[in-house]
């Protein structure tokens, strides 16, 4: 191959890829593509100095990365205001048109994936950054270069941000999960999670194998002189980016509504998942005048699709026993496909819910699955009953150990602490990271020890011997000794970890810390009125604690003697903005959220799990979600992780401190 032939071959490969990945219109076979690709690889191996930078061979790196560095967007990436019905749409449109008159709106599909910001300079892709907190994200440039629908070069020399959603086609999602199932890996919950996880692989070869697709939806920083968004997006598609095709210029709320329903009907025909339609003011000048709120552009909104519902039939109800003994009914339904996912089970919550809905075996039911929400039965079609339906009886005996159940109305519990379902799950939870964090004591090990008869209750862990472990298949001396050492290391644990590890219903990490702070390791001697007086404790939580203590008092004493948990140290934090304040942490951070929580507790703050009027701050990261929205609604001060670190003079996890460009009215940075 000559140099001229090499250049021609590279252009031909790029053309093949463009037709295959962008236009969905293959113009050659896989075999022909592979033959030409390997000819190019051979030439580049012999002529390393002549490699064309955007050659298809340059998309995948050879060495996995150690980590993702933080990177700043040139301009902020905003989230969108959500609209759910025609009434909300009318109000949103009226708010704009009453000031600006006849405004045109650019409508396009809202793809369900992971947001990505591409920065091009001098015609080359120089950086790709995840959304992050909108100001600061992660640099995933090497992974982005593996995505065939992202051009490595464009015919534009200025500096520009091209923004879009990284998605996985529904068909490819199923294939990925089939492969993971065969290899014993956990399955992705949905295509969005698969796309986000694939985009953040440290090994670019894994990302390249997933066939991610980039769907552009907008432009960030730029120096374009194109006056309308629709024209700008047409220009973007002309650069070699994928075109969603189903876009439309609307001139009224009614026209938007009509197009919205057309898109809803067509959503199943899209190769990827849609969760709504995005509406944007077409005029860039009007966009600039409308500006932004704390979180959203005033000139754009997401008109969300309603949750997916399908008709099926209830076959049976099975019972599951949780680690705390709560018996939960689960519906088994005739398999139904909802957006590429086969749904065969649905949560029923409790037997009060079954009675409220008058649900019976054999009933036709409407089942709902929306995004990550666990499928649930939302309606029973009683009009279609033929008399063969069977009433669902409340259970009287545990489905695992057959002991009598305690029926408290909404909750039905197995009180037998020797129940196999309780023992295994309780020990797994007892050893988990948020509890005693016993390294090496995972699900399979606990099950093996239980099946061998070595542990029948929690206290048995502390009587295990090396000889016992070595008698089990697969337990070598080093592994066995490490496990025994890890169990012994749990002695002297923090007070709150001891309480949390007990697995009391409704009592998690935050509540455990509150109990520990108020009563220490002798929390089981606290009186009802004293527990009820604790912040965040309602009647249900108090009754749960008292019931657990009443039933398991001797067990608590035995475990306390074995573990010798440490009483909490009453520390007096120095004066700082977070001392004696209630703080909620939400979204993805540069470090584990537990690290941020520990920092706050050292500062004398109370870390809460939910946002309320009593909250003083919400520290948020990527994908903050409903807690962020609740804070905005209540007027709670919002801080990015960087702003939090600035206020406490903490190092910014290896990156320069950054602040949000827009702050809430009550931000400390006003």
Catalytically active residues are 110
Among candidates 190, 450, 505, 204, which has minimal Cα distance to 326? 505
Cβ pair 411, 322 in contact under 8 A:
no
- Sheet of 248-250, strands arranged across: 81-83, 300-304, 274-281, 105-111, 248-250
C-alpha 317/C-alpha 360 separation (Å) is: 9
> Partners of 379 in the beta sheet?
366
| DSSP-assigned letters across all residues of 287-317 | HHHH-B-SSSBTTEEEEEPPPEEEEEEEEEE
- Rounded distance between C-alpha atoms, residue 15 and residue 108, angstroms: 27
| H or E element that contains 262 | helix 253-266
Interatomic CA distance for residues 446 and 325, integer angstroms: 18
Beta bridge partners of 280: 106, 300
Distances from the Cα of 161 to the Cαs of 74, 107, 216, in angstroms?
A: 8, 20, 11
Q: Which of 435, 465, 460 is nearest to 450 (CA)?
A: 460
C-alpha span between 509 and 500 (Å, rounded): 6
Contact 333, 367 (CB under 8 A): yes
DSSP letter string, 152-190: SB-S--S-EEEEEEEE--HHHHHHHHHHHHHTTPPPPSS
- Residue ranges of the alpha helices (H) in 71-182? 86-100, 141-144, 170-182
471 φ, ψ to 5°?
A: -80, -10
Which residues partner with 337 through β-bridges?
342
């Amino acid at each position: 191959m000559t140099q001229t032939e090499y250049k021609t071959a590279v252009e031909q490969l790029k053309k093949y890829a463009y037709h295959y990945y962008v236009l969905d219109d293959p113009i050659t076979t896989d075999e022909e593509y592979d033959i030409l690709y390997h000819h190019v690889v051979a030439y580049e191996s012999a002529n390393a100095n002549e490699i064309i930078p955007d050659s298809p061979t340059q998309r995948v790196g050879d060495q996995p990365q150690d980590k993702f560095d933080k990177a700043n967007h040139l301009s902020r990436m905003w989230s969108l205001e959500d609209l759910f019905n025609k009434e909300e749409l009318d109000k949103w449109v009226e708010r704009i048109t009453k000031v600006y008159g006849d405004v045109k709106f650019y409508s396009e599909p809202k793809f369900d994936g992971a947001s990505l910001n591409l920065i091009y300079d001098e015609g080359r892709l120089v950086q790709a950054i995840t959304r992050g907190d909108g100001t600061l994200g992660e640099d995933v440039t090497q992974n982005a270069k593996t995505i065939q629908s992202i051009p490595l070069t464009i015919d534009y020399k200025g500096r520009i941000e091209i923004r879009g959603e990284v998605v996985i086609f529904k068909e490819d999602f199923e294939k990925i999960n089939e492969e993971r199932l065969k290899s014993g890996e956990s399955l992705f919950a949905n295509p969005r999670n698969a796309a986000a996880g694939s985009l953040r692989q440290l090994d670019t070869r894994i990302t390249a194998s997933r066939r991610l697709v980039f769907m552009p939806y907008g432009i960030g920083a730029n120096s374009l002189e194109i006056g309308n968004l629709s024209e700008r997006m047409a220009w973007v598609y002309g650069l070699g980016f994928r075109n969603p095709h189903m876009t439309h210029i609307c001139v009224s709320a009614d026209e938007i509504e009509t197009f919205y329903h057309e898109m809803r009907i067509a959503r199943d025909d899209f190769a990827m998942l849609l969760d709504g339609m995005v509406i944007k003011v077409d005029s860039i000048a009007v966009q600039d005048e409308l500006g932004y709120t704390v979180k959203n552009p005033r000139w754009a909104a997401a008109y969300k699709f309603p949750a997916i519902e399908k008709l099926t039939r209830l076959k049976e109800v099975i019972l599951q026993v949780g680690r705390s003994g709560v018996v939960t009914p689960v519906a088994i339904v005739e398999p139904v496909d909802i957006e590429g996912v086969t749904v065969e089970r649905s949560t029923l919550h409790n037997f009060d819910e079954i009675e409220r809905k008058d649900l019976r075996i054999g009933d036709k039911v409407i089942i709902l699955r929306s995004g990550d929400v666990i499928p649930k039965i939302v309606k029973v079609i009683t009009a279609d009953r033929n008399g063969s339906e069977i009433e669902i009886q409340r259970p009287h005996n545990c489905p695992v150990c057959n002991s009598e159940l305690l029926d408290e109305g909404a909750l039905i519990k197995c009180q037998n602490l020797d129940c196999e379902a309780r023992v295994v799950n309780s020990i797994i939870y007892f050893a988990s990271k948020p509890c005693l964090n016993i390294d090496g004591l995972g699900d399979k090990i606990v099950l093996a020890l239980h099946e061998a008869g070595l542990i029948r209750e929690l206290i048995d862990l502390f009587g295990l011997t090396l000889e016992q472990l070595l008698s089990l298949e697969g337990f070598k001396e080093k592994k066995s000794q490490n496990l025994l050492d890890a169990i012994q290391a749990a002695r002297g644990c923090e007070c709150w970890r001891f309480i949390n590890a007990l697995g009391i219903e409704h009592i998690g990490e935050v509540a455990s810390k509150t109990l520990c702070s108020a009563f220490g390791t002798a929390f089981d001697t606290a009186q009802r009125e004293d527990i009820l007086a604790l912040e965040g404790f309602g009647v249900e939580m108090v009754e749960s604690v008292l019931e657990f203590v009443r039933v398991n008092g001797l067990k608590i004493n035995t475990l306390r003697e074995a573990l010798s948990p440490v009483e909490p140290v009453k520390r007096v934090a120095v004066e700082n903005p977070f001392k004696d304040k209630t703080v909620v942490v939400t979204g993805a951070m540069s470090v584990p959220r537990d690290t941020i929580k520990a920092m706050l507790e050292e500062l004398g703050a109370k870390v809460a799990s939910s946002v309320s009027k009593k909250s003083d701050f919400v520290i948020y990261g990527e994908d903050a979600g409903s807690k962020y929205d609740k804070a905005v609604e209540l007027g709670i001060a919002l801080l990015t992780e960087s702003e939090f670190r600035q206020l406490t003079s903490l190092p910014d996890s290896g990156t320069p401190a950054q602040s949000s460009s827009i702050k809430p009215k009550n931000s400390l940075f006003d």
